[in-house]
Amino acid sequence: MAEEVFGTVKEAIKGILENVIAPKNESATVPAPEKKPSTPEGMAVAYGSLVVMAMLPIIFGSIRSVKLHKLKKVRRAPKPLPKFSLTFPPFLFQSTGEKADTMTKKDAMYFPLIASAALFGLYLFFKVFQKVHINYLLSGYFFVLGVIALANLLSPVMNSLMPAAVPKVPFHILFTKGEGKHKEDIINYRFSTHDVVCLAISLAIGVWYLLKKHWIANNLFGLSFAINGVEMLHLNNFVTGVILLSGLFFYDIFWVFGTNVMVTVAKSFEAPIKLVFPQDLIEHGLNASNFAMLGLGDIVIPGIFIALLLRFDDSKKRKTRIYFYSTLTAYFLGLLATIFVMHVFKHAQPALLYLVPACMGTPLLVALIRGELKVLFAYEDHPEEKPENEKKKKDKEEGSSSSSSKKKESKKAK
Q: Which residues are catalytic?
A: 252, 298
Q: What is the distance between the alpha carbons of residues 408 and 414, in angstroms, rounded to a whole number?
A: 10
Q: What is the distance between the alpha carbons of residues 387 and 113, in angstroms, rounded to a whole number?
A: 26
234: which strand partners?
102
Q: Residues in the chain, how many? A: 414
Secondary structure tally for the chain: helices H, strands E: 15, 7
Q: What is the distance between the alpha carbons of residues 86 and 80, in angstroms, rounded to a whole number?
A: 14
Q: What is the distance between the alpha carbons of residues 153 and 369, in angstroms, rounded to a whole number?
A: 38
Q: What is the distance between the alpha carbons of residues 46 and 40, in angstroms, rounded to a whole number?
A: 10
Phi, psi of 140 (to 5 degrees): -65, -40
Q: What is the distance between the alpha carbons of residues 355 and 333, in angstroms, rounded to a whole number?
A: 8
Contact in structure between 105 and 235 (CB atoms under 8 Å) = no
> Three-state DSSP class for 90?
coil
Largest CA distance in the chain: 100
CA dihedral for 184, 187, 190, 193, sign (positive or negative): negative
